[in-house]
Amino acid sequence: MYGYNNVEPDGAVKSTIQHAEFPDKVKLQNLLSEMLTANGFNEIMSNSLTKVGYYEELDSFKADHTVQLYNPLSSDLNGMRQTLIFGGMEAVARNTNYRNPDLKLYEFGNVYTFKGNKSPNKPVKNFAEEEHIGLWITGKNESENWTTQSRPTTFFTLKAFVENILTRLGLDVLQSQVDTVDSDLLSSGLEYKFNNQLVAQIGYVSSKVKKLTDVEADVFYGDLNWTAILKLLDKDGVSYTPLPKYPEVRRDLALLLNKDVKFGSVKEIAYKTERKLLRNVSIFDVYEGKNIPEGKKSYAVSFFLRDEEKTLKDKQIDKVMKKLLSAFERELNAQLR
């Protein structure tokens, strides 16, 4: 035996540096898969071939925009999917029939669209293909045991998962444009846009889609446009900020608002009104009842302020809060309780 310690090293030390494009799609996909799996999700892989008949019942996705097969194996596999929702709903129906009603499912998959004969000389341009992520949750959020009671999944369960995904990828949800969604695909939902680009939609699966897939239970569905998200990450890159040097200040307001006013509107107006010092807005109480006028409700809202360059003084804080209250009164007809 000669021994490694007696082997003379080579004069030049060589090393291979691996280069990966940013964003690294495979790395990010594995990151999200691990994150979702750790939160109780199971990955599914549904068929890209689907039933064109699904889209004949919808206005959200037109049947004539489906990429159809010339020689299909059957009427259930005669077109390419325009959305991931039906594959996941078929999985929900199958599991429910086998008495497995508590589900959290996700899928990375491609969707396909026929845009019409706009380029007869370049037929490939008549078709579009995008990558999406689909999330489905239904049944109980936690199994019943001796430490916790079983709780059903809700819209807000899905909302938290989708916003955590966007945050983990480096997108600031607080800076997104959030609008309501109510269609024949999703009801009572939300959509998230960054730079006017639609990135995610979440909501209750509509009764029409549940009927088409033979599902009776409430199902919550989230769709993330993976292609659009990767483009946003490519533009933004990664940035780092040091820990704050100066303390954060909290101020609370009890606002009397019309019943149809959503907290998202309050938050959007707050960030639009105070861009420099406002760090976070959260709601900690909603009250309707005694001493509240008919058609009104009360939001108890916290505002967190911080200056990156100095400690805030009461005079500055009061000025910001007056500006916020004026904006709420002007745009939402709010009153201070």
pLDDT tens digits for range 288-330: 888 888 889 999 999 999 999 999 999 999 999 999 999 999 9
Nearest CA among 202, 173, 195 for reference residue 268: 173
Cross-strand pairs, 297: 257
pLDDT tens, position by position, 48-59: 999 998 998 888
Please report which residue ranges of 169-303 form alpha helices under DSSP H: 207-212, 226-236, 263-273
Q: How far apart are CA 137 and CA 105, in angstroms?
A: 6
Residue 15 has pLDDT above 80, yes or no: no
CATH 3.30.70.380, domain 249-336, yes or no: yes
What are the backbone dihedrals phi and psi of residue 26, each rounded to the nearest 5 degrees, phi first?
-65, -40
| pTM given for the model | 0.77
Q: pLDDT grade, residue 238 (50/70/90)?
A: low
Other residues' Cβ atoms within 10 Å of the Cβ of residue 34? 10
* Under 8 Å between Cβ of 176 and 194: yes
Residue-range domain boundaries for the chain:
25-236, 249-336
Q: Is residue 124 very low, low, confident or very high in pLDDT (cuts 50, 70, 90)?
A: confident
Which residue type is seen at 210?
K
pLDDT 10s digits, 144-173: 777 877 888 999 999 999 999 999 998 888
On the question of a common fold for 25-236 and 249-336, the answer reads: no
Give 252's strand partners: 302
The DSSP code sequence of 131-153 is EEEEEEEESEEE---SSS--EE-
Q: Are strands 335-336 and 186-194 parallel, antiparallel or unpaired?
A: unpaired
CATH homologous superfamily for 25-236?
Answer: Bira Bifunctional Protein; Domain 2 (3.30.930.10)
> What is the bridge-based pairing of β-strands 296-305 and 177-181?
unpaired
Q: Residue 221 carries which side chain, given as an amino acid letter?
A: Y
